[in-house]
Structure 1
Amino acid sequence: MTGSASELARRLGEHAEAVCREYLSNGHRSGNHWMVGDVRNTRGRSMHVRLKANAKGPAGKWIDEANGQHGDLLDVIEQSCGLVDFREVADEARRFLSMPLPPPQPQTWTHGAQGQTAAARSSPDAARRLFAMSRPIAGTLAEGYLAGRGILLSPRQRALRFHPSCYYRDLVTGDTQTLPALIAAVTNLDGRITGLQRTWLDASGNGKAPVPDPRRSLGHLLGNGIWLGLEPGAPVPVMAAGEGFETMASLRTVMPALPVAAATSANHLAGLIFPSGCRRLYIAADADAAGRHGIERLSQRAGAAGVLTLELRPQLGDFNDDLRQLGPAHLAAWLSDQLVPEDVRLFLPPG
């Protein structure tokens, strides 16, 4: 641990009970320990945080007897807030301690064998860690958010998770807070997580959180996507792709057997890697022209690989608008006129 980290951990230890009440609010004090389920603030008693220094060690040290994990209060802040790098952990610790934040540091470009920065190389690991700290969406605010958008997916959908207190930083003011978030995994064709997309939610259940940019992505996105219905290694003769997750999830709602991929942006759509053996690729277009270059570039790449590409166009602004305002039956009927007849039989069963 660096000197600054050690100093932050020591100062947090001086206020160990206050830290626990803030970040491990599902626990309670018992003697000289704070008892909670785990470092992610789950209810229970297996994790013990030492509140005052004694012969056994300094304040703020903890151990989870259920799995043998141990650490200090910086680890508590990291895990309970779902943070992805140490600078965010340190900033949150300083905020809690009412310390001034350090001045922004210039980007350090440390090139590896493939010319990537150190931060970029660590992003997939950070994404996998945050995804692992989240839980399935069934019965959560995330499931309710999707249902409010008309999106009905299998509760066993592996690409989607929910985090009850995901770290959010205002990029203009630097203010930080924790908010519930829908977490969508960005994966490669082998199913390995390379990044993710966070959609912060209003805790009251009223849509997205009232913050300037409630949706952000991290990790290695180019070539990869938020896949719904992809089974790694299984043939994918027909699929659909588009920019936005909610657009593609809307298509998946009315065509639950069709594998779909959301590339998260027009640039990433242009570079999406589609499975070998794909014969037909439907590309979801929005009503505006902002994403045309992504559609055209992906169509060119697919055509060069011998893949037939067809565009799917919504009636309104996008397919989620169609789903919410016109209804799933109307959307299915609208799509049936745009699909190859064979695919209508496969993906739009009667009723």
Structure 2
Amino acid sequence: MTGKAQDLARRLGERAEIVCRHYLSAGRRQGRYWQVGDISNTPGRSMFVRLQDSPRGPAGKWTDAATGEHGDLLDVIREVLGLVDFKDVAEEARRFLSLPSQEPGEGRPGGPQYPVQAGSVGASRRLFAMARPIGGTLAEVYLHHRGITALQGTGALRFHPRCYYRPDEHSGTEIWPALVAAVTDLDGRITGAHRTWLAPDGIGKAPIDTPRKAMGDLLGHGVRFGIAGDVLVAGEGIETVLSARMVLPDMPMLAALSAGHLAAILFSPMLRRLYVLRDRDPAGDAARDCLIDRASDVGIEAIGLSPACGDFNEDLCTAGAEALRQVLRDQLRPEDVARFMAG
């Protein structure tokens, strides 16, 4: 932590109870601690914030007994407000403390240099790092509602309970829960992130104009599930790809996030056969044809896979996993059926 960041954390600690009452309003004081469910201000008793200096540490330090996470009140501000850039966290802390605005370029070490440009690769990495695994979250509820219940090998997906949404540069900022997906290159480096903002109960997407947005460097990359090898399935949407994984859980897959990006994915040197999940619309057909042509030009066998309905998630939701299994079985190479399709 830089000296200036440390000073902000110390100043917040001196006002720890006031800070907690403002940002962790779902909790309450218990002796020398503020007790709350977690750093996202969930009601409960797992997280303890020290309100006074003690031999165990300074005021403002917190520990979540359920997860083992710990930090300071700057971390609380970041998480509760869903902030990505540290400069915004520092500015909010200064506003709360009635201090002058942050100096340009101020930030914490140990990651990308601050400030990180909004929508950049660095901002994408930070957002994904701030999110949590999807188990037991609204993201899991959302996927289950889409018929996607087999979620092993989905470490590329996380959940953020308070993710910023801004329709355009002239609009105010809203906060919604979000499914956050890491976009990675062939070497596994995060180059971008994709957000699907969710309804407060997780049943469907948030009621906003653009519930899906991507950020960072996307061209050629994608959201990856499974370890890449000589066979790969590629499709547009996360839900489309995860639907296919319901019956092909061991086959490596990639979601390119749009028709245009699907047509441009980069090929691993190990890739020998590529299956392309088709969406039944003109953009999907054009992306499939372009990708198959590109793959064929470099000696990769490329095969289009067509859904019975509009897309594979619709197949899964309307007809069920067994019907989807048969749709895919009839289109895969026999050796891949034996290798990847159980039962």
Q: Which residue of 1 aligns with 2:341?
A: 348
Mark the CA change 1:96 to 1:46 in structure 2 (over 3 Å): closer, same or farther.
closer
Once the two structures are TM-superposed, the CA of residue 345 in structure 1 deviates from its matched residue by: 2.0
Q: Which residue of 1 aligns with 2:61?
A: 63
Q: Which residue of 2 aligns with 1:168?
A: 165
Once the two structures are TM-superposed, the CA of residue 225 in structure 1 deviates from its matched residue by: 0.9
Once the two structures are TM-superposed, the CA of residue 327 in structure 1 deviates from its matched residue by: 1.2
Between the aligned partners of 1:122 and 1:211, the Cα distance in structure 2 is: 19
User: Are residue 224 (structure 1) and residue 226 (structure 2) matched?
Assistant: no
Once the two structures are TM-superposed, the CA of residue 151 in structure 1 deviates from its matched residue by: 0.9
Q: Which residue of 2 aligns with 1:257?
A: 250
Q: Which residue of 2 aligns with 1:135?
A: 132
Q: Which amino acid aligns with 2:322?
A: A
Deviations 1:197-244 (A, max 9, x none): 11121122321111221111222222211111126xxxx111110111
Q: Which amino acid aligns with 2:24?
A: L
Q: Which residue of 1 aligns with 2:186?
A: 189
Residue 291 of structure 1 aligns to a residue whose secondary structure is: helix
Aligned partner (choices 177, 180, 200) of residue 180 of structure 1:
177
Between the aligned partners of 1:192 and 1:28, the Cα distance in structure 2 is: 41
Q: Which residue of 2 aligns with 1:81?
A: 81
Q: Is the 8 A contact 1:39 1:47 kept in 2?
A: no
Q: Is the 8 A contact 1:187 1:225 kept in 2?
A: yes
Runs of 4+ in 1 over 4 A off after TM superposition: 8-19, 30-43, 65-72, 86-97, 118-122
Q: Is the 8 A contact 2:131 2:160 kept in 1?
A: yes
Aligned partner (choices 133, 146, 151) of residue 148 of structure 2:
151
Residue 309 of structure 1 aligns to a residue whose secondary structure is: strand
Worse-matched range after superposition: 264-273 or 236-245: 264-273
Q: Which residue of 1 aligns with 2:50?
A: 48
Q: Which amino acid aligns with 1:342?
A: E
Q: Is the 8 A contact 1:242 1:262 kept in 2?
A: yes
Count residues with an aligned counterpart: 326
Structure 1 segment 84-95 matched on structure 2, within 5 A: 84-85=84-85, 89=89
Between the aligned partners of 2:11 and 2:132, the Cα distance in structure 1 is: 31
Between the aligned partners of 2:51 and 2:213, the Cα distance in structure 1 is: 33
Residue 147 of structure 2 aligns to a residue whose secondary structure is: coil
Mark the CA change 1:228 to 1:202 in structure 2 (over 3 Å): closer, same or farther.
same
Residue 80 of structure 2 aligns to a residue whose secondary structure is: helix
Between the aligned partners of 1:45 and 1:10, the Cα distance in structure 2 is: 19
Between the aligned partners of 1:119 and 1:289, the Cα distance in structure 2 is: 37
Residue 209 of structure 2 aligns to a residue whose secondary structure is: coil
Between the aligned partners of 1:243 and 1:90, the Cα distance in structure 2 is: 38
Q: Is the 8 A contact 2:63 2:70 kept in 1?
A: yes
Of all paired residues, the percent bearing the same amino acid is 51
**TM-score in terms of structure 2 length:** 0.76
Q: Is the 8 A contact 1:229 1:260 kept in 2?
A: yes
Mark the CA change 1:332 to 1:206 in structure 2 (over 3 Å): closer, same or farther.
same
Q: Which runs of 5+ in 2 are unaligned?
A: 54-58, 98-114
**TM-score in terms of structure 1 length:** 0.75
Mark the CA change 1:336 to 1:167 in structure 2 (over 3 Å): closer, same or farther.
same
Residue 287 of structure 2 aligns to a residue whose secondary structure is: helix
Once the two structures are TM-superposed, the CA of residue 83 in structure 1 deviates from its matched residue by: 2.1
How big is the alpha-carbon RMSD for the aligned residues of Structure 1 and Structure 2?
Answer: 4.3
Between the aligned partners of 1:227 and 1:327, the Cα distance in structure 2 is: 24
Q: Which amino acid aligns with 1:343?
A: D
Q: Which amino acid aligns with 2:246?
A: T
Residue 282 of structure 2 aligns to a residue whose secondary structure is: coil
Residue 329 of structure 1 aligns to a residue whose secondary structure is: helix
Deviations 1:85-121 (A, max 9, x none): 2576589789999xxxxxxxxxxxxxxxxxxxx9669
Mark the CA change 1:182 to 1:92 in structure 2 (over 3 Å): closer, same or farther.
farther
Q: Which residue of 2 aligns with 1:111?
A: none
Between the aligned partners of 1:96 and 1:150, the Cα distance in structure 2 is: 44
Q: Which residue of 2 aligns with 1:314?
A: 307
Mark the CA change 1:29 to 1:171 in structure 2 (over 3 Å): closer, same or farther.
farther
